Amino acid sequence: MEKEWLFEEEHKMFRDSFSKWVAREIAPHGEEWEEKGEFPFELYQRVGELGFFAGDFPEEYGGVGGDFRYMVVFAEELAKCRSGGTAAGLTLHYSVAMPYIRDFGNEEQKEKYLAPGLRGETVGALAVTEPDAGSDVAGIRTRAVQVGDEFIINGAKTFITNGVRANWYIVACKTEPEQGRRGISHILVDKGTPGFTVSRKLDKLGWRASDTGELAFQDVRVPVTNILGQKNRGFHQTMHGFQTERLGMAIGSTAAAQHCFDITLEYCKQRHAFGQPIGSFQVNKHKFADMLILIEASRRLAYNTVRLWINKLDCAKEIAMCKVFCCENAVKVADMCIQLHGGYGYMMEYEVQRIWRDQRIQPIGGGTSEIQKEIIGRLLGL
């Protein structure tokens, strides 16, 4: 599992520091937070004050001016934190919400949202998905009508990670509905704005410790200066943001598969049946070989795509391939690990079941596998 070729010394130092912190301050509490259905909100501030959110952001706002490889390390090490919901909440803020502010925000918005976000003092959420519009971003119905120097927003969002506890939201709205996808804008809405409410916290199969919410907007008034980026460019901005979100999901899934593999390998060396370790049986050896092939192939595909991305080379097709291949392989690996654990794999006290539950969302969230295959086909000229 050679990683040296992709990462430089600064990334290795970050990995060493972040890995030790995750093992010391998150992993021991992961199961407790999963049962509780929530991790402490203060964890964001702790991550911020230690500089772990700083990697891929400009120095003038508190970042270190690094590249996407910091986010790769972040996702890989959080895969071992024993709580997919905690990893999802932290990662959504760091590698999804804040990059929108970095890439499209004006100076005032960066000072208001990016700087405190990097310190973990405020938390962001991206609100695109709606009850009737998931992968079909162009089909959203939430409206933002401009009246004078204000937008009046009406609509609903669902499946929003960090949706319950976020301080600010990037809300995709139709500003010119007759223009279809060319009439979508991103508008910043702060928690506490009159008319904006969290309808409910959703009960999920996995990511139990994350707050996934439904949002309602009823005559919510915000200044026109709250528009993020260019008016009616929200679809384009969303597609841009999806690139790193999907690549990050592929990387995190591969790391979770590796973690699941590692703990299962140790289990099969210790667990005995018919007078010998169960890992020594040929059928189980072959399962481990199959899993290792899937994991290593996923990692190589993902790392090569990261190389293309950081060198600003076109890799839309490769990102879609990563999203399908890596995320689906992680589910396959977790399923095989449950099988290798036998009846114990079905017990809540064993981590493999939690990893399977957490990974099952990955081929769905951020654009389903089916959507990614459509993208690949389109990029092939079909």
Q: What is the pLDDT of residues 123-142, one digit of tens each?
A: 999 999 999 987 788 899 99
- The C-alpha atoms of residue 324 and residue 297 are separated, in whole angstroms, by 13
Residue 58 near residue 113 (C-beta atoms within 8 A): no
Q: Is 169 helix (H, G, I), strand (E, B) or coil?
A: strand
Residue 127 near residue 160 (C-beta atoms within 8 A): yes
| pLDDT confidence bin for 93, thresholds 50/70/90 | very high
pLDDT, tens digit (0-9, with 9 covering 90-100), for 152-188: 999 999 999 999 999 999 999 999 999 989 999 999 9
| CA-closest candidate to residue 317, choices 372, 241, 362 | 372
| pLDDT confidence bin for 237, thresholds 50/70/90 | very high
Query: pLDDT: is 132 or 83 the higher one?
Result: 83
Q: What angle do CA 203, 204, 205 make, to 5 degrees?
A: 140
Q: What is the mean pLDDT of residues 224-235?
A: 97
**CATH 1.10.540.10 applies to domain 9-122:** yes
| pLDDT confidence bin for 1, thresholds 50/70/90 | very low
Q: Is 14 helix (H, G, I), strand (E, B) or coil?
A: helix
Quote the distance between the C-alpha of residue 161 and its chain's center.
9
- The C-alpha atoms of residue 55 and residue 334 are separated, in whole angstroms, by 30
Radius of gyration (Cα) for the chain, nearest Å? 21
Phi, psi of 198 (to 5 degrees): -90, 110
pLDDT above 60: residue 41: yes
Q: What predicted TM-score, i.e. pTM, was given to this entire model?
A: 0.95
For domain 126-232, give the CATH number. Answer: 2.40.110.10
Q: Encode 284-296: b = buried (16+ Cβ within 10 Å), e = exposed.
A: beebbeebbebbe
Whole-number pLDDT of residue 302: 98
Q: Is 28 helix (H, G, I), strand (E, B) or coil?
A: helix
Q: Which residues are annotated as catalytic? A: 245
pLDDT above 70: residue 3: no
- Secondary structure of 77-126 in HEC code, one letter for each residue: HHCCCCCHHHHHHHHHHHHHHHHHHHHHCCHHHHHHHHHHHHCCCCCEEE
Q: Where are the domains of the chain?
A: 9-122, 126-232, 235-379
**CATH 1.25.40.420 applies to domain 235-379:** no
pLDDT, tens digit (0-9, with 9 covering 90-100), for 246-272: 999 999 999 999 999 999 999 999 999
Mean pLDDT of the chain: 97
pLDDT above 80: residue 4: no
Percent of the chain with pLDDT over 70: 99
Give bridge partners of residue 29 from the DSSP assignment. Answer: none
pLDDT above 60: residue 360: yes
- The C-alpha atoms of residue 369 and residue 360 are separated, in whole angstroms, by 12
- The C-alpha atoms of residue 101 and residue 8 are separated, in whole angstroms, by 26
